[in-house]
Amino acid sequence: MNSKERLFALRISLVMAVRMLGLFMLFPVMSIYAADYDNSSPFLIGMAIGIYGLTQAIFQIPFGYLSDRFGRKPMLIFGLVVFFLGSLIAANTDNILIVIVGRALQGGGAISAVLMAFLADSTSEDNRAKANAFVGFQIGVAFMLSLIIGPIITSRVGLHGLFWVIAILSIIALIIVLTLPYSKPVTYYRLSASAFKEILNGQLLRLDFSIFSLHLILASGFIVMPILIIENQIIGMIDNWKLYLPAVLLSFLGMLPLIIISEKFKKTKHVLLISILLLILSQILFLSLNLSFSVFLILLTIFFIAFNTVEALLPSILSKTANASKRGLAMGVFSTSQFLGTFFGGAIGGLIYNIYDLNSVFLFTISVAIIWWFLILTLPLKTNTSGD
């Protein structure tokens, strides 16, 4: 990438990372601390985790389309303001039902597709994979930091304070967005059946299902993994970073060879299949092994290697495949699928835990991952080189 592309990718990645940091910080603490809220239950806690994904899913396509029509930057500003308001609502209640409302409003600021489309607009096709990988790395760093500082903040100021921190982070993201250049509308097209037909081909649908499955497994996993840590007395909540930090750092080292194999040797499909198998393996071992600190660390590392690899590869494949004139809309469908995965992972995972037990949640995620693996097995990797 040239210096202009690097600077732009840095700013986009910072907006994404700062916003995702605020969301990820909830993952290791919500299922523990939200149990003290009024009207709390495992199902409603799962809804509080996942409802954000539902409203994200609803609004990703409208945001992506409107960014094609009116420009990326105005939609980014609007989305971050909505996210900020939702954070304030969640920060000022002791009732899990109101937290769910605030989380739903947070999800209404659906800017992920707009950010990725903005990045694709501003980088050359040859450098797009690098730019997406850079953004994926920053999101990974945000994820790592969230697992470290989320429990520390929450142990001192509770979930109320954590939501206040998330609100402040959204303001920081808004300030970064204001430094971005104005983006001219890409094109005008009607949001019609033919426009959707163009982006709902077999390859893109497989990619959409991939991001859906990945985030379903993530949301379901983080309903049960914090509880497993407490029940097995693996480590205290405030010291969770001693578990998560080495797992995420090791996972970055583990994902590098997979990314190199994918990009340098054009083995993207093979790497995706290997990564899904690693996800399946991690879920089976969580289900079947006696968990100690060292065992949990190894399993988390395997899980994060697979998660980070897939998270970095999928947007790159999508940006190469989608028609440039419909890229915002294609990213909107992709992001909708991602956040539907978060919603269903939280809601169904919480429901299964409420009715059955923790192990049943892992059986659910294993089943989804196996279906996903077979779909990727039939994935034809073709890229759009016309630039149309």
User: Taking Cα atoms as reference points, which of 282, 280, 277 lies closest to residue 298?
Assistant: 282
Number of other CB atoms surrounding residue 125 within 10 Å: 14
Threshold 0.85, pTM exceeds = no
Q: What integer pLDDT is reported at residue 265 of this predicted model?
A: 82
- Cα distances (Å, whole numbers) of residue 51 to 104, 219, 347, 365: 5, 11, 8, 19
Q: What integer pLDDT is reported at residue 189 of this predicted model?
A: 55
User: Residue 94: is it exposed, middle or buried by C-beta count within 10 angstroms (0-12/13-18/19+)?
Assistant: middle
Supply φ then ψ for residue 203, to 5 degrees.
-70, -45
Q: What integer pLDDT is reported at residue 165 of this predicted model?
A: 93
Mean pLDDT by 10 residues, the chain (388 residues): 77 83 83 89 89 85 81 90 94 95 90 81 69 72 81 90 93 91 65 66 86 94 90 85 86 89 85 96 94 94 92 80 68 82 91 91 96 90 46
Find out whether 114 and 79 touch, Cβ atoms under 8 Å.
Answer: yes
Q: What integer pLDDT is reported at residue 110 of this predicted model?
A: 83
Residue 249 token pair: 């750092």
Q: What integer pLDDT is reported at residue 387 of this predicted model?
A: 39
- Cα distances (Å, whole numbers) of residue 232 to 200, 311, 352, 369: 45, 30, 20, 26
d(CA 206, CA 351): 27
Q: What integer pLDDT is reported at residue 242 of this predicted model?
A: 87
At residue 376, what is the residue type? I
Q: What integer pLDDT is reported at residue 58 of this predicted model?
A: 87
Residue tagged 């800017």 (tokens): 111
Residue 386 token pair: 């016309």
Find out whether 323 and 199 touch, Cβ atoms under 8 Å.
Answer: yes
d(CA 52, CA 15): 18
Q: What integer pLDDT is reported at residue 388 of this predicted model?
A: 36
Domain 10-179+198-377 class? mainly alpha
Q: What integer pLDDT is reported at residue 283 of this predicted model?
A: 95
